[in-house]
Structure 1
Amino acid sequence: MAGHVLFALFQLALTLAVLVQPKNQSGFISIDCGLVDKLNYTDETTSIYYTSDANIISSGISHSISSKYKTQTLKRQFWNVRSFPEGTRNCYTLDASRGSSSKNLVRAMFMYGNYDGENSLPEFDIYLGAKWWDSLRFQNASDIVIKEIIYVASADYIHVCLFNTNNGTPFISVLELRVLDNDAYFLTSMELLARHDLGLQDGELIRYPDDMYDRIWTPYNSKDWKQINTSLPVDQGSSSSIAASSFSFITFPPFNVMRTAAIPANVSNNMEFHFMQSRDNVSIFYAYLYFAEIQKLQANQIRQFNIFVNGDIFIANASPSYLETSYYLAIQISPWLNIWINETDRSTLPPLFNAIEVYMAKNLSQSQTQQTDVDAIMSIKSFYGIKRNWQGDPCTPQAYSWDGLNCSYDGSGPRRITSLILSSAGLTGNIAPDISNLKSIEYLDLSDNNLVGDVPSFLSQMQFLRVLNLEGNQLSGTVPTELIERSKKGSLNLSFGGNPNLCSPEGSCKSSKPKVAILLVSSLAGAVTLLAVTITFRIFRKRQIVSICPVKLSAHSRINNELGLRKQQFTYAEVSRITNNFEKVVGKGAFGTVYHGISSNTQVAVKMLSPSVQGYLQFQAEAKLLAKVHHNRLTALIGYCDDGSNIALIYEYMANGDLAKHLSEKNENILDWKQRLQIAVDAAEGLEYLHTGCKPPIVHRDVKSQNILLNEYFRGKIADFGLSRIFPDDSDTHIFTRIAGTPGYLDPEYNMSNRLTEKSDVYSFGIVLLQIITGQPAIAKTEEKSHIVQWVNLMLPESKIDDIVDPRLEGNFDKDSARKALDTAMACVVPSSLNRPKMSNVVMELRQCLAMETAHGVRSKIDFSFGGISGESSLAR
């Protein structure tokens, strides 16, 4: 057979009685999205019972469409919508009531109706589980778009997810699921393109209760056709067959569809049906053609016709049986479908055509997360009341796995959760028992929460666990001996410091406390924004001074009152003694010098302010802020000196200086990838605290690698708050201020508009993260790499991750971790602040990167020790 026709599957022979319609809606899920809770209703036309989605999904916002579009003919299901302005992925979870092998009809319907008053038609994607289903586009605000698919569930639930593609806010009007018989239709996954009753009058449609599966049959009319009908029942089957008996489909159209048909308006004419898909790609069409003779023929009458599909003969001499349904399945590879039905020379009557369904094959086979892992993580979510946007499948799609999770993606089997990162997640109570059901977990981080109780023994029995971090909680009792033994053997990286009442088996609780980190202050920041001169003069008049700080001034009392400080107060003589007469300079800046010192056997850094208006204003701003904020990822203020003309701030000492020094090409000691990620996480956590932990929030305004300081263990802290701004009110989203910051790190949007937001810090941090990844400076000397963002953008299309990551690492890093870090950095530096992530999201992404690298390092160590014959480390491969 020529052309694109692959095969003609048959006129199926099934002599069946008319199927009895069910009296209930078993296997139906009918959701009116955005409907107010407890306002469920029964549709007057179909008798379908619709429920609100208020208790089905935890995200999104309910809206009513504009009254302009609530016409008398608009079904009630379209009066409301649920929109999803937050998050990239928002999912409904539907119960596949007949189990993982059930075949289902899933239908989503959308009508914009200017629900948001913006008159802006959005575009977004819909996914079924982890697989892309389709893209949503609208012609106008009253356009109703319906997406329907036949789908075999791979679990006892089905996820329907809306994805934000940055082209408007996703929304949905109606979501429906109908359970089909398992032998319905030919394929396991097919997307509906068209379903028409060719004898139906315009403006009508047929669905439940006429169609027991609630398929929606719409009219398709041509000016060259006319409609005929009968009131007699049409059996769903014919007496002749050319098909194998294994193909037994029982999803014939309902009686009311088959009792009507179209015939040529001019008896000498033939019939034509044309369909072209809106997509550009060539698809495989599955066209179900339905025929039934509905006119009682006389002895001398013959109705016989040939069917052509895309120009090729498909069925010859077709002659439908009286009041019995026959159908043919045409399979075509083509972007279009053209059907011609021509009467034969023997025929005395024109052809007729009752109904057609057109589907497109969809490959929706997917490896979802192992069900036991899904059950466990959902129980953990419920146990702690986790508010993260944990929706849909935890591990798939891979690019949108849940925040704080990493999964296995090797092979075609179910995905397994391999790491769970809930650090600083506000967890309370005991360690959740369902963690024991995450059988493939390798990395578990529960640090910096408020967990109490014992360390459970089940953690010792998690055979794949390689990293366990319980630091910074209120756990008590004794760490299980088995965990300690595994840690000694090197198969487990165990951390449990910062739990005052938690003891190791052979030691006291005090031994588990971490050492106090001692910090070094970086060189001072660049230019400080000048305040209004008149305000400055008023400050000095109040102090009755000519020089910056007169000797006779009662400084301590004033600073305590004005700045709210409760820190140690030093005289200039004490500062001189602490610094051994300012012997060792550890940093210099525009407004002073930083000296090394020792106070009470503790190393400190002393920032001496130069006598200038700018220096004093920076001193005032930084002291005021550090008196209010306390976080282990921010430099801590120990004390201050305001003694005559001598002004100083005394900080903890950071033994390894600033990050910029270690990323410099001149530095011989190269930070490894894990160290870099840890520093990135530390700095991100500090910024997250300023943005979300402070009320009102604080914007640093000068995030750069010189202002990230490293302690003796190469842990990072944010420093230098002289340019920081506190929002006037907790509800404010931005303030207008003079531009301040460092070239190369400065948010271009802030630079153009003077509009300062938290996202300005996110941009600057993105530059720092790119430096950490690439080893490149923010602004290079060479013209082809003038700015680090431009350089990375030039590299991305053609380069592998190895070409972008700092070559001094010599490939010793987990590539997936590096790619994820790079994606996070590039998301931070997009031009529009609205499209940048929040620092809380950045923290989550970087913690996952660190978890991936940590697990990679542990695997490498084990591979090297137990690698079999070759004994080769994966780091060397």
Structure 2
Amino acid sequence: MSVGFLTPLLLSLAAVVVVHGQLQTGYISIDCGSPENFNFVDIDTGISYSSDGAYIDTGINKNISSQYAYPNNPNLPQPLSDLRSFPHGNKNCYTLAPAAGKRGLFLIRASFLYGNYDGDDKLPEFDLYLDVNLWSSVKFSNASDEVTTEIISAAVSETISVCLVNKGLGIPFISALELRPLSSSIYGTELGNTVSLVLFKRLDIGYTNGTGRYKDDIYDRIWSPYYSPSWNIVSTFSAINSNENGYKAPLEVMSTAAMPRNGSDQLELSWTADADASKFYVYMYFAEFQRLEKNQTRKFNISWNGSLMFGPFVPRFLYAVTISNSEAFTGKEHRISIHKTGDATLPPILNAIEIYTAKQLDELPTFSEDVDAVLDIKRTYQVNKGWVGDPCGPKNYTWEGVECNYSVSLPPRIISLNLTSSGLSGTISASFGNLSSVESLDLSNNRLSGPVPEFLKELKSLKFLNLEGNQLSGYVPTELLERSKAGFLNLRVDEQNLCSSGSCKNKKKIVVPIVASVLSALMVSVGFIMLWRLRRKRKSNADASNGEGRPLPSKNRQFTYAEVLNITSNFQDVIGKGGFGNVYRGHMKDGTQVAVKMLSPSSTQGSKEFQTEAELLMRVHHRNLASFIGYCDDGSNMALIYEYMANGNLKDYLSCILISCHSNLHLLRLFFILQSKLILMGMIIRLCDNLTLADKNSNRLSWEMRLRIAIDAAQGLEYLHHGCKPPIIHRDVKTANILLSENMDAKIADFGLSKAFPNDSHSHVITTVMGTTGYLDPEYYNSRKLNEKSDVFSFGVVLLELITGQHAIIKKDESIHIVHWVSPLIESGDIGSIVDQRLHGEFDANSVWKALEVAVACTTPTSFNRASMSLVLTELKQCLAMELSHNRERRQGFSEVIYNIGPYNSPEVYSLSTATESITSPSAR
């Protein structure tokens, strides 16, 4: 914020020479980063500070560089000489437990001095949260910048969390943290728990020698001295009575005041906010110094932006009075005017002023019973997952293993708790039963013992329960078994925990149903029954496999691990690799080639993703979706079998083109041998061989071919969004998941992260953020609200890659997203710098511009303004028609076009019009 009246303000907080004399009742004063159990009294303020070990258990202690420390900086407050840094975790929180608890109003102050403590000399930027709401973004102008921010807020629980959030712009840290209890009768208590006040400026008017902190300020506020050349300064040595004023400004502040040098002028203060909607509360302090004669009158009005705020007002002799606005001042420009009334003989005065920005507390803390439950679980099992602050807030920083449901007017509720393989031991705590809204509870692969508790049946929202891999005794409550059989609960337990009746026992662990939805469960069950009957029928006909690959079946079916081994010739031919594991080329009995994706035990994706993909592929069929042959679910061996796509994926195809692999094959071979990457080398050599078959005379994709690939992919996505019931969101659209056949037909693949909408009436679903960096929808990442437009954004990135030949994340001196890279080039109309240079100008300019418009319409920051896949498909077909027409003219010799690879004149690229859902063509090309 820029502050017009603060130009001469002394911003430096000099050392305080007067020692505090107050009792410091209720103070919490933390020297962050000081040695453990190190307590001291600050010699400048007289305030007792303690180390921060009792308030936080993450982070590391650091000292600022000697360049910025004492004695090079003799006025440096001792708490700023060290700090606590948080290189690990996105959210790290201090937990404060003030004596007044949730009944109190508090001033909380956080201080930061970077001082090049890490030796990187790179200023960080991070966010500071109070509980679940943003307090401030912490930024620095230089390494010696002392940043201090204050907030006044009412506590909503017995503890207060102050959280530092890493937003990818540097490691968060903190130097000092202080809490001061306030009287509940001051600072706009009518605001309640819906607004906090963040200090903008606190000014001691007329006192140029102020020390900032004063011994008689029971709230330990920091007052900045301020003086204007157009003012006269008045002061008194008499005591100012502040007992009747709850704000209790210190004597040093109230004993000085300013009045206009010209008695007929006004006292004016002005400032400019960052945003038009900024809201401010102002607190002005007045006290009359002069004992007035009968013919003297000091009376004045107080206005804001020309509107009367308060008045007429007569200050009391040697008594402190505070005046504030009951409704927020809203806007960008603000001007406070204090001007005498017509019948006044003396000019107005002002002793001090505080200005606060109103912070609306939009985010609600997690439902208190849920918080109590998970905190008890954390204490009982000593959970070490960085569980600090609020479990569900801020929204993008929930606890590890915790998923929440959010509502506009109700507190968030915990709906999923995943503590698999977390080292839990002992009995299952009754606290799990207090998570009344939980839908998914995974306690598998721990050391839990004791009986399966009856209280689990009281969790009426439970749809998934996994107790496998423990040493539990007794049996699952009958009610849970009945819910499982009815399809309302996905229940996973060990055999010994089933009911005592022999009819309930099974030699295998049960997974009933495979998905929570009754309809989906029924569909999957029918599919598996049909597959089972088909296998039995074939065996009864003595046509069972002896391990050889079988002919390509007309319907999806299950394969044994032995069959997969034979199909892949013992996994000899690796053709790809992903987070799931390797992909192998195989041959069926009739010689048909297939691709076999195996789940690796060390995979970053798990059986859940494999299961999701198998279930989805059994019910979707489209020529632009990878054809599903079958699956293997044989013990720990899991595989998915697809049709073989001879030209691999689009990412590798473009990359191979980029390095002109055939002309540099000997260099590639040498490089990969030196790097011991023989498998990867083989994959690239094979891909280059395929490229030779596809195009012996060229190592590039023409613009027409790129458009056809984009159209194929768009048709596959349009089918998922609008042709499937319920609609399906892919969630991982990227060039690596677009496969190319021998004829360069494109097909969408890899559905492990796909998500089905509950029904058509839902505009979005709240879900854990999944996807790939560079392709991930920023709105979905920030809000966790998933809809079909998330796929549209990812597709827009793919389209930009096809147009430009660049990667989604362009790595040069600094990494930049392709959307940010291309935007200024579009603005300037520099098509020559946009289009892939390997096209050598052989394209229709209008076709490329229109494709760029489609990409821009796909990648707008807000999903509401993005095109639908149906519209994208229509527009891309028009791009292709324009390119085909251009090619026909060129072949017929009617038009010999030489493209000027340089800026066009004033192009205009428009994104989607939400009103008409059409993409307007650019003019002046």
TM-score range, shorter chain: 0.5 to 0.7
Distance change (3 Å), C-alpha of 1:283 and 1:757: farther
Please name the residue that 2:490 is paired with. Answer: 493
Paired AA for residue 156 in structure 1? E
Please name the residue that 2:122 is paired with. Answer: 120
Determine helix, strand or coil for the equivalent of 1:386.
coil
2:314 maps to which of 316, 319, 328 = 319
Please name the residue that 2:153 is paired with. Answer: 151
Deviation at residue 747 of structure 1 after TM alignment: 12
- Mapped to 2, the partners of 1:411 and 1:597 lie a distance apart of 48
Determine helix, strand or coil for the equivalent of 1:182.
coil
- Mapped to 1, the partners of 2:547 and 2:397 lie a distance apart of 57
Deviation at residue 22 of structure 1 after TM alignment: 8.7
Deviation at residue 75 of structure 1 after TM alignment: 0.6
1:286 maps to which of 258, 267, 281 = 281
Please name the residue that 1:46 is paired with. Answer: 45
Q: Deviations over 1:140-171 (max 9, x none)?
A: 11222222122122222222222222222222
Determine helix, strand or coil for the equivalent of 2:348.
coil
Q: How does 1:849-860 map to 2 (within 5 A)?
A: none
Distance change (3 Å), C-alpha of 1:803 and 1:606: closer
Please name the residue that 1:199 is paired with. Answer: 206
1:235 aligns with 2:241: yes
1:465 aligns with 2:498: no
1:258 aligns with 2:179: no
Unaligned runs of 5+ in 2: 1-19, 512-542, 588-593, 599-605, 616-624, 642-647, 660-667, 684-700, 732-747, 749-753, 777-807, 817-925
Paired AA for residue 229 in structure 1? S
- Mapped to 2, the partners of 1:176 and 1:583 lie a distance apart of 71
- Mapped to 1, the partners of 2:712 and 2:155 lie a distance apart of 44
1:221 maps to which of 198, 223, 227 = 227
1:783 maps to which of 694, 699, 706 = 706
Determine helix, strand or coil for the equivalent of 1:606.
helix
Deviation at residue 328 of structure 1 after TM alignment: 2.2
2:361 maps to which of 359, 364, 370 = 364
Please name the residue that 1:79 is paired with. Answer: 81
Deviation at residue 355 of structure 1 after TM alignment: 0.5
Q: How does 1:516-555 map to 2 (within 5 A)?
A: none
- Mapped to 2, the partners of 1:584 and 1:429 lie a distance apart of 50
Deviation at residue 308 of structure 1 after TM alignment: 3.9
Please name the residue that 1:843 is paired with. Answer: none
Contact 1:103–1:151 (8 Å) recurs in 2: yes
Please name the residue that 2:871 is paired with. Answer: none
- Mapped to 2, the partners of 1:714 and 1:811 lie a distance apart of 31
Contact 1:148–1:191 (8 Å) recurs in 2: yes
Please name the residue that 1:168 is paired with. Answer: 170
Determine helix, strand or coil for the equivalent of 2:375.
helix
Q: Mean alpha-carbon deviation: is it higher for 370-379 or for 333-342?
A: 333-342
Paired residues, number: 631
Deviation at residue 237 of structure 1 after TM alignment: 7.0
Deviation at residue 493 of structure 1 after TM alignment: 2.7
Distance change (3 Å), C-alpha of 1:826 and 1:504: farther
Distance change (3 Å), C-alpha of 1:477 and 1:268: closer
Contact 1:206–1:257 (8 Å) recurs in 2: no
1:109 aligns with 2:111: yes
- Mapped to 2, the partners of 1:74 and 1:681 lie a distance apart of 60
Determine helix, strand or coil for the equivalent of 1:372.
helix
Q: Deviations over 1:742-772 (max 9, x none)?
A: 65269989x99999999xx9xx9xxxxxxxx
Higher relative contact order (CA 8 A, sep 6+): 1
Q: What is the TM-score normalised by the length of structure 1?
A: 0.61
- Mapped to 2, the partners of 1:86 and 1:747 lie a distance apart of 36
Deviation at residue 377 of structure 1 after TM alignment: 0.3
Contact 2:21–2:216 (8 Å) recurs in 1: no
Q: Mean alpha-carbon deviation: is it higher for 390-399 or for 806-815?
A: 806-815
1:606 aligns with 2:608: no
1:185 aligns with 2:180: no
Please name the residue that 1:744 is paired with. Answer: 651
- Mapped to 2, the partners of 1:100 and 1:509 lie a distance apart of 51
Determine helix, strand or coil for the equivalent of 2:502.
coil
Contact 2:105–2:181 (8 Å) recurs in 1: yes
Distance change (3 Å), C-alpha of 1:609 and 1:227: same
Contact 1:634–1:717 (8 Å) recurs in 2: no
Determine helix, strand or coil for the equivalent of 2:335.
strand
Determine helix, strand or coil for the equivalent of 2:54.
coil
Say what the alpha-carbon RMSD is for the aligned residues: 5.2
Distance change (3 Å), C-alpha of 1:365 and 1:789: farther
Please name the residue that 1:711 is paired with. Answer: 632
Please name the residue that 1:774 is paired with. Answer: none
Paired AA for residue 257 in structure 2? A
Paired AA for residue 26 in structure 2? G
- Mapped to 2, the partners of 1:77 and 1:747 lie a distance apart of 55
- Mapped to 2, the partners of 1:785 and 1:204 lie a distance apart of 72
Contact 1:634–1:719 (8 Å) recurs in 2: no
Contact 2:560–2:632 (8 Å) recurs in 1: no
Contact 1:502–1:512 (8 Å) recurs in 2: no
Paired AA for residue 168 in structure 2? N
- Mapped to 2, the partners of 1:304 and 1:583 lie a distance apart of 100
Contact 1:579–1:597 (8 Å) recurs in 2: no
- Mapped to 2, the partners of 1:288 and 1:297 lie a distance apart of 25
Please name the residue that 1:393 is paired with. Answer: 390
Distance change (3 Å), C-alpha of 1:154 and 1:515: closer
- Mapped to 1, the partners of 2:184 and 2:362 lie a distance apart of 17
- Mapped to 2, the partners of 1:828 and 1:284 lie a distance apart of 37
- Mapped to 1, the partners of 2:55 and 2:349 lie a distance apart of 46
Query: What percent identity do the matched residue pairs reach?
Result: 36
Distance change (3 Å), C-alpha of 1:585 and 1:382: farther
Determine helix, strand or coil for the equivalent of 1:387.
coil
Distance change (3 Å), C-alpha of 1:31 and 1:597: closer
Paired AA for residue 225 in structure 1? W
2:131 maps to which of 126, 129, 132 = 129
Deviation at residue 618 of structure 1 after TM alignment: 7.5
- Mapped to 2, the partners of 1:40 and 1:460 lie a distance apart of 51
Paired AA for residue 195 in structure 1? R
Contact 1:682–1:717 (8 Å) recurs in 2: no
Distance change (3 Å), C-alpha of 1:781 and 1:705: farther
Contact 1:196–1:356 (8 Å) recurs in 2: yes
Q: How does 1:615-626 map to 2 (within 5 A)?
A: none
- Mapped to 1, the partners of 2:120 and 2:713 lie a distance apart of 34
Contact 1:56–1:93 (8 Å) recurs in 2: yes
- Mapped to 1, the partners of 2:35 and 2:417 lie a distance apart of 35
Contact 2:287–2:315 (8 Å) recurs in 1: yes
Contact 1:161–1:392 (8 Å) recurs in 2: yes
- Mapped to 1, the partners of 2:219 and 2:722 lie a distance apart of 51
